[in-house]
């Protein structure tokens, strides 16, 4: 029992250290950009020497990898909770799904870049971290199927539409609403192309 308790304590301590390191890495990325992340700076923020980080992460890319998995897991939890409160009309479902992801993507540039853009030369997420993104996409496919959208190209178009607006928001009006204001209009154009029923602002579904 003593050996197990010691092992459990060590495991918890190691996990706590990893969380602290990741929190420091996010802080550096948000202040200076993803590309400015260095082991020396992260180590300094958690009171370690840079070589000590290797007992927790094998490389800087391993830190990026853990950050990537953490970001997608965070969005996955938020999506799972929000999906329980989705409306029933297809257009409203699309608007809700689009706005949810747009707001998440435009809330944190470093997180968005790591999740959705290839900004780190040579970085590819591990299977373990990428699995979080796959689970999110599987949930997205389930939600879309519930309103009759199953074709792969239709799913890709919706993802590109919302992601493109988020990219444009960061590029042209960071912190503003220029592209957020276009979100419902863009989603309605997509819904029109798929011949989904119209919905007015008074909750009435139109033919």
Q: What stretch of H or E contains 199? A: strand 198-199
For the whole model, what pTM was predicted?
Answer: 0.89
Q: 177 and 122 in one domain?
A: yes
Between strands 205-206 and 198-199, the pairing is antiparallel
Measure the CA–CA gap between 125 and 19, rounded to whole angstroms: 18
Mean pLDDT across the stretch 114-137? 96
Q: 52 and 69 in one domain?
A: no
pLDDT digits (tens, 9 = 90+) for 81-97: 999 999 999 999 999 99
Predicted local distance difference test score (pLDDT) of residue 19? 93
Measure the CA–CA gap between 180 and 102, rounded to whole angstroms: 8
**What is the pLDDT of the chain when averaged over all its residues?**
91
Q: 167 and 110 in one domain?
A: yes
Measured between alpha carbons, how far apart are the two ends of the chain, in Å? 67
Q: 152 and 100 in one domain?
A: yes
Q: What stretch of H or E contains 172? A: helix 152-172
Mean pLDDT across the stretch 124-139? 97
**At CA 136, angle to CA 169 and CA 23, rounded to 5?**
70
Measure the CA–CA gap between 166 and 4, rounded to whole angstroms: 48
Q: What is the DSSP string of 103-124?
A: HHHTS-HHHHHHHHS--STT--
Q: 42 and 124 in one domain?
A: no
Q: 84 and 39 in one domain?
A: no
For the chain, the domain total comes to 2
Q: Which domain holds residue 7?
A: 1-57
What are the distances in angstroms from CA 87 to CA 83, 84, 90, 152, 165? 9, 9, 8, 23, 23
Q: 139 and 195 in one domain?
A: yes
Neighbouring-strand partners of residue 199: 205
Predicted local distance difference test score (pLDDT) of residue 199? 81
Q: What stretch of H or E contains 2? A: helix 2-32
The helix/strand/coil state of 198 is strand
Q: 150 and 193 in one domain?
A: yes
Mean pLDDT across the stretch 107-121? 95
């Amino acid at each position: 029992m003593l050996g197990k308790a010691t092992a459990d304590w060590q495991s918890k301590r190691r996990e706590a250290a990893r969380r602290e390191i990741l929190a420091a890495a996010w802080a550096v990325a948000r202040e200076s950009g993803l590309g400015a992340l260095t082991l020396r700076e992260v180590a300094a923020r958690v009171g370690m020497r840079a070589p000590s980080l290797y007992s927790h992460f094998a490389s800087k890319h391993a830190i990026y990898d853990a950050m990537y998995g953490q970001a997608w897991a965070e969005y996955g939890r938020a999506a799972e909770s929000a999906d329980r409160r989705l409306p029933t009309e297809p257009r409203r479902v699309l608007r809700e799904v689009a706005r949810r992801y747009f707001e998440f993507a435009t809330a944190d540039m470093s997180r968005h870049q790591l999740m959705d853009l290839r900004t780190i030369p040579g970085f590819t997420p591990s299977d373990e971290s990428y699995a979080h993104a796959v689970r999110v996409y599987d949930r997205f496919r389930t939600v879309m199927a519930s309103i009759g959208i199953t074709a792969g190209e239709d799913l890709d178009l919706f993802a590109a539409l919302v992601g493109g607006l988020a990219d444009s928001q960061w590029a042209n009006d960071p912190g503003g609403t220029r592209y957020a204001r276009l979100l419902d209009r863009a989603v309605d154009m997509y819904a029109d192309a798929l011949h989904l029923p119209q919905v007015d602002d008074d909750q009435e579904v139109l033919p």
